[in-house]
Amino acid sequence: MGSMPNRATAPALPRRDQIRKEAARLFAARGFLGVGVDEIGKAVGISGPGLYRHFAGKDAMLADLLVGISERLLEEGRRREGEADGPRAALDSLIDGHIDFALDDRDLITLHDRELLHLKEADRRRVRRLQRGYVELWVAVVREAFPPLAVPEAEPVARAAVHAVFGLLNSTPHSAAPQAPQSAGPDAGPDAGAGAPAERSGSERSGSERSGSERSGLARDSMAALLRALAQGAFVAAAAEAEGPRPVR
């Protein structure tokens, strides 16, 4: 008998990460108020009460998701800025990092847009504080990268450009192709595939998946290249606006 072919298998997600992934998917699909703890437990193959060994409840799951991604964006942004060789390279790296987030974590974008109001006040303030830090990081890098934006009177233009680029990049749930399901691997136990069921009903698929399939969105590499070009072009346009009209010769 011939030997079985070697197949690369995805590593199993830790249980807490499985819960995060399924909570994000379900909250994005039907809203925070429309999903119960038992349903999240079923998606990862454990009883609803078993979730309480990992999270205190739904509120804690939502806070973990939204605070966590805000922390990750800021930390990753600071790392990219610190490792870059100059402000232009730093800006390009920030753009690439945010594109990766926008394309790979679309459920979290949907959650932030729709469910931030369901966070407890302290958690909502924390998310806002982290977001402000992330915006200020981008504004500082943009103004270093483009001298016309560095003058004090051009600061509002730089800030507006940063927010416009965020809006562009975060629009990907409505324009990118649907994300492929990720398997947790055959060795992950009886509930390992909980993060990516093979079949989902129309009501269970996230808004990002429905919009992608319905609109036949661009594949990931093509979408990333387009977003990168558009973001870079937006900052070039902002710098030209700040510089003002050039004299006609």
Tokens matching residue 137: 């990081």
pLDDT at 130: 97
pLDDT at 189: 34
Q: Report yes or no on 143 lying in a domain.
A: yes
Q: Report yes or no on 51 lying in a domain.
A: no
Burial class (CB in 10 A: 0-12, 13-18, 19+), 180: exposed
Average pLDDT, the chain: 81
Q: What percent of the chain has pLDDT over 70?
A: 75
Q: What number is the average pLDDT over the span 215-219?
A: 66
Q: What number is the average pLDDT over the span 125-130?
A: 96
Q: Report yes or no on 24 lying in a domain.
A: no
Confidence at 12, pLDDT banded by 50, 70, 90: low
The domain that contains 104 carries what CATH number? 1.10.357.10
Q: What number is the average pLDDT over the span 138-163?
A: 97
Q: At what angle do helices 15-30 and 106-115 cross, to 10 degrees?
A: 60
Confidence at 15, pLDDT banded by 50, 70, 90: confident
Residues 202 and 210: beta-carbon distance below 8 Å: yes
Report how far residue 231's alpha carbon sits from residue 161's, in angstroms, rounded to the nearest whole number. 9
Residue 207 in this model has a pLDDT that exceeds 80: no
Residues 106 and 176: beta-carbon distance below 8 Å: yes
Residue 29 in this model has a pLDDT that exceeds 60: yes
pLDDT at 246: 54
Residue 185 in this model has a pLDDT that exceeds 60: no
Report how far residue 136's alpha carbon sits from residue 32's, in angstroms, rounded to the nearest whole number. 30
Instruction: Please give the torsion angle defined by the CA atoms of residues 60, 106, 164 and 64, in that order, rounded to the nearest 10 degrees.
Output: 10
Confidence at 219, pLDDT banded by 50, 70, 90: confident
Q: Report yes or no on 49 lying in a domain.
A: no
Q: Report yes or no on 138 lying in a domain.
A: yes
Q: Report yes or no on 32 lying in a domain.
A: no
Q: What number is the average pLDDT over the span 30-50?
A: 88
Residues 192 and 12: beta-carbon distance below 8 Å: yes
Q: Report yes or no on 48 lying in a domain.
A: no
Buried b (16+ CB within 10 A) or exposed e, 236-246: eebbeebeeee
Taking CB atoms within 8 Å and a gap of at least 24, the contacts of 70-77 are: 70/126, 70/127, 70/130, 70/131, 70/134, 71/130, 73/97, 73/98, 73/101, 73/130, 73/134, 74/130, 74/133, 74/134, 74/137, 77/134, 77/137, 77/138
The model's pLDDT over 83-96, given as tens digits with 9 standing for 90+, comes to: 999 999 999 999 99
Q: Report yes or no on 2 lying in a domain.
A: no
Domain that holds residue 157: 58-177+203-242
Report how far residue 41's alpha carbon sits from residue 57's, in angstroms, rounded to the nearest whole number. 11
Tokens matching residue 90: 């730093």
Q: How many domains does the chain have?
A: 1
Mean pLDDT lowest for which of 142-156, 180-194, 211-225?
Answer: 180-194
Is pLDDT larger for residue 80 or for residue 199?
Answer: 80
